[in-house]
Amino acid sequence: MKISLSLIALSAVAVMAAGPVKVGGDVSGALFLPKMDPSFDGLTMKMGFGGKIAPAVEYAINEQLSVRGSVGFEYLTYGMEIDLGDLGKATTDVTSMLLPIGASVQYAFIPAMFGSVGVGYDINLSSKAKTSFMGVEATEDDASKANPLSITAGLGYKITPEMAVTAGYAFPLTGISDGDGTKITVQTISLGFRYDVGM
């Protein structure tokens, strides 16, 4: 009887793992590469660092093709420096808390490796800009109300059927901060870890 119950339990787990729906999530660290348009002499954009946690649901269309959706939390930083000649340099550091929403199509090249393309939309929960010039510091809350839209692409390698390491890239279609006729866009390069279980 105990053996039969064990076999039934193992069979149920196997069916869940092979099912068309998986739930799980991604944890990643990111490098943010900002760009201001238009740029000007004396301006230097500084890359930033951050990370994201994103619970996700994935639906398998077939053995190779699946669709994935996620909603999570992301911490983003970047900065800029303006050389004003004899007056010195003005620096600004920006930090943002975002609610990232993502949707992608995933294709398995081989059982252990997959690629994906999709779109991402970041809802800006809060932003803070800290500016320093001539020894004076000023902080502006809610420095950006923009909700950037991006195209995403990624690669992943499965360590086990449930776990994978991932690499991703996001190219912005809209600016993260607009004002005074300028637009700042931020490209994202990320490395992460994914864990999914079948339902």
What CATH number is given to the structural domain containing 35? 2.40.160.20
Sign of CA dihedral 19, 21, 25, 30: positive
In a domain, 187, yes or no: yes
Structural domain count, the chain:
1
In a domain, 160, yes or no: yes
pLDDT for 4 equals: 39
105 neighbors 123 (Cβ within 8 angstroms): no
In a domain, 51, yes or no: yes
User: If you ran DSSP here, which 8-state letter would residue 161 be given?
Assistant: S
In a domain, 149, yes or no: yes
In a domain, 58, yes or no: yes
DSSP bridge partners of 101:
71, 121
Please give the average pLDDT of every successive group of 10 residues along the chain, which has 199 residues: 39 47 96 90 94 96 95 94 91 93 96 96 90 88 75 97 96 75 88 91
